[in-house]
Amino acid sequence: MESLQEISQFLNPNSRLDLKAISLEHVLSVTGSLEGREQLLKLPNLLTQLIALTQDSSTAVSKDAALALINITADEAGTSAVLLISEMTKLSEDKKYNYNLVHVCIRFIMDKESSLADPCCMILSNMTRPLHLVDRVIALIEKTGYSWDSIVAVFTAKQYNNTGAKLHYLGPVFSNLSQSSQVRRFLVDKNRNGIQRLLPFTEYAGSVVRRGGIVGTLKNCCFDAEDHEWLLSFEVDILSYLLLPLAGPEEFDYEENDKLPVSLQYLPETKKREPDLDIRIMLLEALAQLCATKRGREVLREKNTYLILREYHKWETNKSALLACENVVDILIRTEEEIGLDNIKEVDVPPEYANKFHQMDQDFINST
């Protein structure tokens, strides 16, 4: 602790470059362990200095400061600490440095010439992971002066950053933020095309992080039953984008193909299913959400969803994914008369039964 306090004096943005660089290297190494990060959290002034140093004129210094903050915000306690600093402090006395880390990250992400865009995406991904902190981060983002539209535009641009940044970690940021109904309202706004711009990334081969983040975002948008009819309409066609990653190269007859969404008809022999297990499960969970409403179930049946899931079930080996698939199929193969409800989310399941069903699922997953 004493060594960190001593080092803190050399982390002043106005300190000599060599002293800043050496001191920052030591701090960065300390953030590599949980014990080290816990020690740093006892020094809020040092955390404030790290935020300021991300804006240093030296690229090496600013990068090391950003990397240290990635490690610190990986823990919920670290995120809580820097979030509090961001909410309480704004600018240094000379107005040269901004101590609001959320503002700093958004600014660098939106700057085409910034070499810190990717590290800042990772910091925001960490900071938005704890659900109970999401609304506070959203409040800070909305005060940056950048609109949600502009942030989505940066993410979906073929090449926005001139330094080679990919912004893949904005995918998890959207997924985390879309846990809030406020962000979902933006994404499903019929006048903005927010969600439509994200849909193609369910098949993005270049990054599992980007792909997973967007699938997580779509899954969250499926939680609101009132949006199901629009999401499943031709205007959005979310079903095609959820099913395509689960589809393989199987051949179907004309009648079976004709009922499938156009993008799933006559797929080539080279068609591969989503290789990431977590993403496959999220896709299935999104389909399950769409099955909550009668209209959702009707569309999934009309579009021959069962056909894709039947072949997927033959291919899948993981029991958690198989269970998620069976949960969707079990709903689709029942008639509406058997279901007897427009919205099955409205069923009030007693806690003892909910616990019993959960245990049954766990027993299936753990069985050999």
| Model confidence pLDDT, tens digit, residues 177-189 | 999 999 999 999 9
HSE, CB side, 13 Å, CA atoms: give it for residue 308: 31
Task: State residue 96's pLDDT score.
Answer: 83
> Cα(first)–Cα(last) distance of the chain, in Å?
50
Task: State residue 112's pLDDT score.
Answer: 95
- Tell me if 290 sits within 8 A of 231, measured CB to CB: yes
Q: Tokens in use for 38?
A: 């816990």
Phi-psi region of 193 (alpha: psi -120 to 50; beta: other; left: phi over 0): left
- Tell me if 176 sits within 8 A of 125, measured CB to CB: yes
Task: Give the confidence band of 82 by pLDDT, cuts at 50, 70, 90.
Answer: very high
CA distance linking residue 61 with residue 66, whole number of Å: 9
Which residue did the predictor score with more confidence, 356 or 114?
114
Task: State residue 343's pLDDT score.
Answer: 74
CA distance linking residue 52 with residue 91, whole number of Å: 9
pLDDT at 362 over 80: no
Residue type, 264: L
Task: State residue 2's pLDDT score.
Answer: 53
Residue type, 244: L
> What is the pLDDT averaged over residues 312-336?
95
Beta partners for 293?
A: 343
> What is the pLDDT averaged over residues 170-179?
98
Task: Give the confidence band of 364 by pLDDT, cuts at 50, 70, 90.
Answer: low
CA distance linking residue 368 with residue 361, whole number of Å: 13
Task: Give the confidence band of 162 by pLDDT, cuts at 50, 70, 90.
Answer: confident
Phi-psi region of 95 (alpha: psi -120 to 50; beta: other; left: phi over 0): left
| Model confidence pLDDT, tens digit, residues 230-246 | 999 999 999 999 999 99
Helix (H, G, I), strand (E, B) or coil at 102: helix
- Tell me if 186 sits within 8 A of 257, measured CB to CB: no
Chain-centroid distance of CA 237 in Å reads: 21
pLDDT at 351 over 70: no
Phi, psi of 233, rounded to the nearest 5 degrees: -75, 170
Task: State residue 9's pLDDT score.
Answer: 86
pLDDT at 354 over 50: no
Exposure string over 218-247, b if 16+ CB within 10 A, otherwise e = bbbbbbebebbeebbeeebbbbbbbbbbbb
CA distances from 271 to 52, 287, 347 (A): 48, 21, 39
| Model confidence pLDDT, tens digit, residues 33-69 | 999 999 999 999 999 999 999 999 999 999 999 999 9
Phi, psi of 293, rounded to the nearest 5 degrees: -100, 150
Q: Tokens in use for 294?
A: 């009668």
User: Looking only at Cα atoms, what is the longest distance across the chain?
Assistant: 76
Q: What is the mean pLDDT of the chain?
A: 91
Helix (H, G, I), strand (E, B) or coil at 290: helix
CA distance linking residue 245 with residue 266, whole number of Å: 15
Task: State residue 92's pLDDT score.
Answer: 57
Task: State residue 94's pLDDT score.
Answer: 55
Task: State residue 367's pLDDT score.
Answer: 62
Task: State residue 345's pLDDT score.
Answer: 64
Q: Pick the most confident of 286-295, 340-349, 354-363.
A: 286-295
CA distance linking residue 126 with residue 168, whole number of Å: 14
Task: State residue 349's pLDDT score.
Answer: 41
Nearest to 133 by CA among 167, 181, 176, 175: 176
Helix (H, G, I), strand (E, B) or coil at 115: coil
Q: Pick the most confident of 8-12, 190-194, 300-304.
A: 300-304
Helix (H, G, I), strand (E, B) or coil at 91: strand
Beta partners for 343?
A: 293
CA distances from 280 to 55, 135, 244, 308, 318 (A): 39, 28, 11, 13, 10
pLDDT at 268 over 60: yes
Q: Which residues contact 323 (CB under 8 A, 6 or more apart)?
A: 361, 364, 365
> What is the pLDDT averaged over residues 357-368?
54
Report pTM: 0.90
pLDDT at 310 over 90: yes
Residue type, 168: H
